[in-house]
Amino acid sequence: MFWDERRFLVYVGGRGTGKSTAACMRLLGMIQRGEIRPGARMLIIGPDYTQLMDGTIKTFDYWFDHAGLIIHKVNGNKPMRMLQGNIEVLCRSAMNLDQTRSKECTPVWLDEFAQMDESILTLTNANVRETGIRHADTIYQTMITTTPRGKNHLWRRFANPETRFNDDKMGYYHMTTIEAEEQGIARPGYVEELGYPVGSQMYRQEVLAEFADWTGLVFRQSWKKMDAHQPFRYIVGGVDVGSVTPSCILLVGVDEPGNVYVFKEFYAPRTDVHVLMAKIGDWHKEFGVNRWVVDDPDTFKMLRNAGMPSTFPNKTKDAAGAMVNYINSLISRDMLHIDEHECPNLVKEMSTYEYKDKTSGDEVTFLDKVKPNQAEHAIDPLRYACRILSAWKAQQSYGQSLDFSFGG
């Protein structure tokens, strides 16, 4: 990749495979060899501002500061780096398409392109041109570094043999996280600590860097990993009580804009009622839970007697299907955040929960359509909590325009 002069360079890799570093090495080599001329302009685009600044530009600054090339930095709404030789580096978010227009650049770098709208490629292709006199030996290049996200536009344009660019125009590179760990790019134990179930779609996508087909899975797999959050406006505890099967408690909060955060999980088989009640009581006091929704009548009565606001889940008609649609809508709008460290069993269940391979045509509800005997001990309390949160959000937004909500 360091020497590849083809029009498009595409590096598809799993987590921790050094994609951004490889792009930086390529750019440094182009400057060293004079392929990026003094006075030229580069364009770097990330999927959103946070990923751009906390990921892409942080890596860029590390390597270019180390090389002694950065002489001036501008952050804020329109980040920029000025390099020696009067080379300008424009840094933009793909969320604001207007900021990609009228930027004459010889190299463009699209980091995590699979997360971007397909139109970003057309817009940036129009920018790959020189200002002023064109030099015959100038190299015009778009670099793409990304982890795949299903068989989307990345697959169609750059990986599918039937629709991709030919090899004369495109250099395609691929690395799994397993290979990265073996080569010392990722540290020892990194793959195991990621925690994706081996063979799951998330493992295939995030570790093996495969273009996994998600058609059989119930839940979209692009929820956001939780790090920081705004103060919660409302917190719901969902409780699924098992006997031999696991019992699960989930805490789910919502912030002012409506982002939903799953931040606490208790998950254990054969849980005695006093253990379950003790955990509920501790979390009620520690986190100020506004409402509990629990599927067991005896536990419900004990919560009520203890003065904790509680209710039963809605299990009428196709309530489960409605909540799955709601959860997938949150995921598609980047509004569902899961603390994967605190909630490993929820992640495991959502990563493997599937529809039936074949249907008879007699299915009526959502539960008729999914494979039987699947683990949903954490999925159920997530559905219970999301119903309460959607109703609460609808009440808060009464009289305003709503994007999406389910109540009742």
Give residue 295's pLDDT.
93
Asked whether the predicted pLDDT for residue 247 surpasses 90, the reply is yes
How would residue 2 be classed by pLDDT, with cut points 50, 70 and 90? very high
Mean pLDDT of the chain: 89
User: Which tokens sit at 299?
Assistant: 């536990």
User: Which tokens sit at 86?
Assistant: 């009067």
Instruction: Show the CA angle centred on residue 47, arms to residues 194 and 37, nearest 5°.
Output: 115
Q: Which amino acid is at 125?
A: N
Encode pLDDT of 43-53 as tens digits. Answer: 999 988 889 99
Give residue 407's pLDDT.
39
Mean pLDDT lowest among 71-80, 114-123, 266-275: 114-123
Contact in structure between 263 and 289 (CB atoms under 8 Å): no
Task: Determine the Cα–Cα distance for residues 239 and 308; give it in Å rounded to an integer.
Answer: 13
List residues bridging with 9 in a β-sheet: 143, 171
Task: Determine the Cα–Cα distance for residues 195 and 178; give it in Å rounded to an integer.
Answer: 13
How would residue 315 be classed by pLDDT, with cut points 50, 70 and 90? confident
User: Higher pLDDT residue, 376 or 222?
Assistant: 376
Look at the block and give the residue holding tokens 């500061």.
65
Asked whether the predicted pLDDT for residue 121 surpasses 60, the reply is yes
- Element housing 89 (H / E): strand 87-93
User: Which tokens sit at 234?
Assistant: 């409302």
Q: Which CATH class is domain 8-194?
A: alpha beta
| Residue 221: closest CA among 147, 318, 117, 321 | 147
Look at the block and give the residue holding tokens 């978010």.
93
How would residue 167 be classed by pLDDT, with cut points 50, 70 and 90? confident
User: Which tokens sit at 4?
Assistant: 């590849």
Average pLDDT estimate for 2-12: 96
Average pLDDT estimate for 10-21: 96
Please return the burial class of 167, using the count of CB atoms within 10 Å of its CB with bins 0-12, 13-18 and 19+: exposed
Average pLDDT estimate for 314-327: 84
Asked whether the predicted pLDDT for residue 17 surpasses 60, the reply is yes
- Chain centre distance of CA 246: 28
Task: Determine the Cα–Cα distance for residues 361 and 356; give it in Å rounded to an integer.
Answer: 12
Asked whether the predicted pLDDT for residue 401 surpasses 60, the reply is no
Asked whether the predicted pLDDT for residue 363 surpasses 80, the reply is no
User: Which tokens sit at 406?
Assistant: 């389910």
Range ranked top by mean pLDDT from 5-14, 163-172, 386-395: 5-14
How would residue 214 be classed by pLDDT, with cut points 50, 70 and 90? low
Asked whether the predicted pLDDT for residue 385 surpasses 50, the reply is yes
Task: Determine the Cα–Cα distance for residues 303 and 208; give it in Å rounded to an integer.
Answer: 45
Task: Determine the Cα–Cα distance for residues 8 and 172; give it in Å rounded to an integer.
Answer: 8
Q: What is the CA radius of gyration of the chain?
A: 25
Instruction: Show the CA angle centred on residue 191, arms to residues 187 and 193, nearest 5°.
Output: 90
Average pLDDT estimate for 10-20: 96
Asked whether the predicted pLDDT for residue 406 surpasses 50, the reply is no
Asked whether the predicted pLDDT for residue 216 surpasses 70, the reply is yes
Helix, strand or coil, per DSSP, at residue 179:
helix
Query: Which pairs from 30-33 meet CB under 8 Å and 24+ separation?
Result: 30/107, 30/139, 30/141, 31/69, 31/83, 31/85, 31/87
pTM over the 0.85 mark: no
User: Which tokens sit at 122?
Assistant: 């057309």
Give residue 361's pLDDT.
58
Q: What is the CATH number of domain 224-396?
A: 3.30.420.280
User: Higher pLDDT residue, 216 or 69?
Assistant: 69
Domain boundaries, the chain: 8-194, 224-396
| Residue 394: closest CA among 292, 272, 258 | 258
Average pLDDT estimate for 258-262: 95
> Residues 6 or more apart from 194 whose CB is under 8 A from it?
15, 177, 206, 207
